[in-house]
Copies of this chain bind each other. A is one copy, B any other.
Amino acid sequence: MRIAIVEGDGIGKEVIPEAVSILDYFNEKRGLGFEKVPVEVGLGKWEKTGEAISDADIALLNSCDAVLFGAITTVSAPSYKSVVLRIRKELDFFANVRPIHPIPGIEKCLDYGFLKPDTDIVIVRENTEGLYSGIEELGDERSTTLRVITKKASERIAAFASELASSRKNKLTIVHKSNVIKSDKLFLDTCKKTALDYFVEPNDLLVDAFSYDMLIHPEKYDVVVTTNLFGDILSDTGAVLLGSIGLAPSANIGDKKALFEPVHGSAPDIAGKGIANPMAAILSLKMMFEWLKMNKEAELIEKAVSISVSEKKVTPDLGGNLSTREVGKFILEQV
């Protein structure tokens, strides 16, 4: 099993090592034989080589089974292409899975009205098309982007979400805007039909209404499937239900491989200060173990993070005064 380690830029370089310590621990203790493959991509690489990610990097990532990914700083230079979008595309990570499940004990850190302990939502975001098609015509007077919905990609993501729903409460909420964006009719109808094929009960909401209702009544939702950009917005929005975006992990899943990354970015404003919350990276590692069906390891990690918040051993974003390193070390001691 080869695991690519991509720290990336900014706080990616600070949080990924904490997740890697935990990976190392399990690797040694249980003799898992995981091989770590460091891959350097991102702004740092672009500054040195003029390329943020090369074909050789893609090939190297492709030779691995899973990727643990930090975050990338994007600059708006025309020659700078988004690293994570290129990886998602070339490695065909079609499903972006973003759980919204508050870590038990977080209420000890935050006196925070959004927190509802029974929130347990998984946003399944279509990761290959929609407004991320890249089909654009850019001009000085008029610029356009084509939003593309295909039956094939909609079926694929709906099947993935329905399978997940089967293993949970057998309910699937389809989020769309088909009252205005008629291309979403294809997404909606395809998802409904696919859900029924999987004996899953579909319901649906408009994206504006859902974004509101998810925050007011999170307990009403379980597995949610939506298009690319809506998933992007809703997963950041939903992170308020976690208490901090510093607690939001994600998985980008393909047929045989997967990439695990925190939802947060490289946060240039706090990079280098050693105060970034490593929990989203560590919980992304937890998702990797789940994906590998190593549920014991996954549980141990979740429990360790839970102890860390319950005892307020946390970084400043959660009201604590520990450093990234200290929090990482504390969590490692608990696993």
Measured CB to CB, the residues of A under 8 A from B are: 74, 76, 82, 85, 112-115, 131-132, 136, 138-152, 177-183, 185-186, 207-209, 211-212, 215-216, 229-230, 232-233, 235-237, 239-240, 245, 265
- Cβ of A107 to closest chain B Cβ, rounded Å: 11
A145 close to B147 (CB less than 8 A)? yes
A114 close to B215 (CB less than 8 A)? yes
Select from chain B the residue with minimum beta-carbon distance to A240.
B215
B131 close to A142 (CB less than 8 A)? no
Chain B residues in 8 Å Cβ range of A180: 82, 85, 131-132, 229
B143 close to A185 (CB less than 8 A)? yes
B232 close to A208 (CB less than 8 A)? yes
Chain B residues in 8 Å Cβ range of A211: 211, 233, 236-237
Chain B residues in 8 Å Cβ range of A82: 179-180
Task: Decide yes or no: A144 and B138 within 8 Å by CB, A74-B179, A76-B178, A229-B177 being known contacts.
Answer: no
Q: Could you pull out 12 A-B pairs where Cβ atoms are within 8 angstroms?
A: A113-B113, A131-B147, A144-B148, A144-B149, A144-B183, A147-B147, A208-B233, A209-B265, A211-B211, A211-B236, A212-B239, A216-B240
A293 to B235, CA, bound (A): 40
- Cβ of A249 to closest chain B Cβ, rounded Å: 15
Chain B residues in 8 Å Cβ range of A74: 179
Task: Decide yes or no: A138 and B233 within 8 Å by CB, A82-B179, A216-B240, A239-B212 being known contacts.
Answer: no
A141 close to B151 (CB less than 8 A)? yes
A265 to B205, CA, bound (A): 13
Interface centre among A74, A152, A236 (most CB of B within 10 A): A236
Chain B residues in 8 Å Cβ range of A138: 182-183, 185-186
A330 to B2, CA, bound (A): 69
- Cβ of A303 to closest chain B Cβ, rounded Å: 26
Select from chain B the residue with minimum beta-carbon distance to A74.
B179
Select from chain B the residue with minimum beta-carbon distance to A183.
B143
Chain B residues in 8 Å Cβ range of A230: 233
A249 to B136, CA, bound (A): 35
- Cβ of A147 to closest chain B Cβ, rounded Å: 5
